[in-house]
Structure 1
């Protein structure tokens, strides 16, 4: 999903505080991503469930094996190209703000590239994991 073309990302701090509201944008595009800390959302009670749902989703990036493979819906080639362009714009903005939810997960078991795979077995629990650039990635067996 991410493009290998160079990009310039500009981050604006409206409060002058890097731990407060941050607005990120790719300087050659008109798309912006805005991060608002939870503490700043206390005045906007109606927005809290939406942000909480997004935060819950973004905190659990994982792969889940499917018992059935869904069929790919028909999408016209022109619309597909535009969607891929949009994702290519949004993906680095979310990553820069600390939400790499559109970044692909590393493939498990890449010992040939020097990645050590760790195994965890316990009463009713089993998993494998490896250290990546993003931290520890845990996968079901």
Structure 2
């Protein structure tokens, strides 16, 4: 189904986007409240801190191979977030989904938590600090219809705030469509390297099964790219395949050059390194569009 136009409203109660943000679609009851960890005290003074809600904690170390997230639900947001502030170190921001009409029940938030963990695990953009989703909680037919719409709205609000936790890296398995299929897949070969990728709105997604050169050239052994590669190996995203490392899953890079550097184990200009099936560089194809 083709997406329909929507109006997103973001209210800044502290007058700055660095503080608390309250996002909503003007025709829906769901609100997403984004709270920096350093602004918990201000949030606890707001009425929403007493609401029932499903929440997400986002963060992670700078050198993590993936951003970290934790998903939960509670009937006492103030108490639960205070506990996480004392006991969980990784997170820097919480995003909470609540009803501005205070109509969520425990059945709503338990199903939302289950669906959120299941869909976030499937999308595999974030490393979840949760266990598995378990079995689907029972809800009545009427509530099921409600929570599906609530979840859809919440997912859109999270993505709008910069947290596309439920969005697959490559939509529909085919990525961003160009004028032809040969322009949707990009290839890169080098010494003991052979990779395939898709260019998306978020950057370059290198496909699972791609082979990356194992040994960095001398000039690149101590740069951030080498440290990034080591972190991917440490987390099992790159595995030893003899002369090469192999990607075990689709993995996003913010730029074509960042992706090319990991594949080739050296600094590289991804706009000229990645080529389509016709042998045209990424730069040439995009400049011609």
Instruction: Decide which of 91, 108, 122 is 1:52's aligned counterpart.
Output: 91
Counterpart check, 1:30 vs 2:29: yes
1:79-90 mapped onto 2 (5 Å cutoff): 80-90=144-154
In the other structure, the counterpart of 1:93 is: 157
Using CA pairs under 8 Å that are at least 6 residues apart, name the structure with larger relative contact order, 1 or 2: 1
In the other structure, the counterpart of 1:5 is: 4
Instruction: Decide which of 181, 184, 191 is 1:115's aligned counterpart.
Output: 184
Q: Which has the higher helix share?
A: 2
**Matches of 2:15 and 2:93, distance apart in 1:** 25
- How far off is 1:90 after superposition? 0.9
Instruction: Decide which of 109, 115, 135 is 2:203's aligned counterpart.
Output: 135
Normalised by the length of structure 1, the TM-score is: 0.62
Stretch deviating more after TM superposition (106-115 or 93-102): 106-115
Question: Which ranges in structure 2 are unaligned for 5 or more consecutive residues?
Answer: 43-80, 95-116, 127-135, 210-289
Question: Which ranges in structure 1 are unaligned for 5 or more consecutive residues?
Answer: 63-71
Given the superposition, is the C-alpha separation of residues 18 and 79 from structure 1 closer, same or farther in structure 2, using an over 3 Å criterion?
Answer: same
Number of residue pairs matched by the alignment: 129
> Which SS does the other structure have where 2:22 is aligned?
strand
Given the superposition, is the C-alpha separation of residues 137 and 13 from structure 1 closer, same or farther in structure 2, using an over 3 Å criterion?
Answer: same
Given the superposition, is the C-alpha separation of residues 113 and 119 from structure 1 closer, same or farther in structure 2, using an over 3 Å criterion?
Answer: closer
**Matches of 2:205 and 2:162, distance apart in 1:** 16
**Matches of 1:11 and 1:29, distance apart in 2:** 13
Larger radius of gyration: 2
Once superposed, what is the RMSD of the aligned Cα atoms? 4.4
- How far off is 1:35 after superposition? 1.1
> Which SS does the other structure have where 1:34 is aligned?
strand
> Which SS does the other structure have where 1:36 is aligned?
strand
Normalised by the length of structure 2, the TM-score is: 0.34
